[in-house]
A = this chain, B = another copy of it.
Amino acid sequence: MTTQQYIDQHRDRFLEELKTLIRIPSISTAREHDKDTHHCAVQVQEYLVRAGLDRAELYPTDGHPIVYAEKIVDEKAPTVLIYGHYDVQPADPLDEWETPPFEPTIKKTENHPDGAIFARGATDDKGQMFIHLKAVEAMIQTDSLTCNVKFMIEGEEEIGSPNLVPFIKEHKEKLKSDVILISDTSLLSKKHPSVTVGLRGLTYLDVKVRSARADMHSGLFGGAVANPINVLCEMIASLKDENKHITIPGFYDDVRFPSDRDRKLMQDAPFDAQEYMNSPGVFGLEGEKGYTTYERTGILPTLDVNGIWGGFTGEGSKTVIPAVANAKISMRLVSKQDHEKITKLFSDHFKSIAPESVKVEVIPHHGGNPYVTPTDTPEYKAAEEAIQQTFGETPVPMYEGGSIPIVAQFKEVLEVETILMGFGFDTDGLHSPNEHFGLWNFYKGIETVPAFFKAYAARKS
């Protein structure tokens, strides 16, 4: 029996098993669901055992356990480390769900004429992670596993993976591998498959501008003292020039652009501006001059104010000049920008542009480095080949706007590149009510992973 024959034969069971996994409300941030989250880890472990993997174990952490399993077929074969997560986001707001969030329901949609599973975690990341479990099962059960495989499935991705880096540092030897494979990103569309090759990093800071000990009356002091809100606005405004280029000295020093070929593939990728604008109802697109939207969100860094507050914000009017104004500012980072270096550049610059009449505090929150997958490697070529085979199209190397900080850490600690081969769509409602995952996408993923293993083993031998 071929691997594909096995997959075809077990389609319905695969789906039922995924539903079982999805029914467990493994909300990692919710204390009251700690038992469920643990139960979900055990369920993943059980499925790994049943799939034919060895050494399936739960590794306890200070939070939720990490599930590990492996199948070593040949010491000389390349090793693929599969990372995913079994925890999910909270389901609120509950009243916006059309069907209960933890009762998977199959419904057809415009994007998913073959049906999609509606449930929290359907795509992020239970459905996508389960693709690998079932693909590996199919390869093991049909004796066609060409690479060694290791699974590391964590339960704290949605709360920032606080215990994963200590785990990978402690188990470097166990996790030794040639490539890390993750399905936690999206495809452009069915006709235009893509591999995510860029993830932005992030630095996030609170800033505080103070001009006095106490609030002031705008009649007695207005015009003669620094108003910290006005000052904060002026400081923020000065952080970008008229082309929306960020003015912090040295900010772009470590920005590298993709190769001409990759940039061309991305520029040529279909982009539906209306669809992109629709979900948040954006009035218009704008950004740094000379770049497409994909480039603005993928290969350029950003600086956004995520929150601002100060003075009187109630109904009506109060003629106050506040003593202090605050903002939360974050920067998305790209290619070789280092979040600690950028945090320092920002902090130094922000303090340097403050007028003498105010005191400025900058409080860094957290950060993560960007990650770029090199596209001239056997790993990437294998992914390209697998997708070419199952989708009939060369995948677009996509630079995405979001961050998965752990990927940069994998590179730093384990010294292995990651292939981000996701099978969901951006429109699948990740982190939102009515999250879903297409059945077509699920089975297409299960079909593609063995193709990747095969192509990768061939290129590495």
Contacts and interface: CB of A to CB of B under 8 A. Distances in A.
Interface of A: 200, 202, 204, 210-227, 229-230, 232-234, 236-238, 240, 279-288, 293, 296-297, 300-313, 316-323, 325-328, 330, 332, 355-359, 365-366, 400-403, 426
Copies held by the complex = 2
Nearest to A401: B219
B304 A328 contact: no
Contacts of A308: 229, 232-233, 308-311, 313, 325
A328 B286 CA distance: 26
Given A219-B400, A221-B282, A308-B311, 4 more contacts: A225-B285, A226-B284, A229-B304, A230-B236
Nearest to A320: B306
Contacts of A355: 286
The 8 closest A-B CB pairs, nearest first, are: A213-B281, A219-B402, A237-B237, A307-B311, A284-B357, A229-B305, A233-B233, A233-B236
Nearest to A301: B223
Nearest to A365: B317
Contacts of A356: 283-284, 286
A218 B304 contact: yes
Interface centre among A230, A311, A325, A332 (most CB of B within 10 A): A230
A284 to B, nearest CB: 4
Contacts of A232: 233, 308
15 contacts: A212-B280, A212-B281, A219-B400, A219-B401, A221-B280, A221-B297, A229-B308, A230-B240, A230-B305, A233-B234, A280-B323, A286-B355, A286-B357, A307-B318, A308-B313
Contacts of A309: 308-310, 313
Nearest to A303: B230
Instruction: From A219, A287, A330, name the one whose CB has the most chain B CB atoms within 10 angstroms.
Output: A219
A282 B317 contact: no
A225, A318, A330, most chain B CB atoms within 10 A: A225
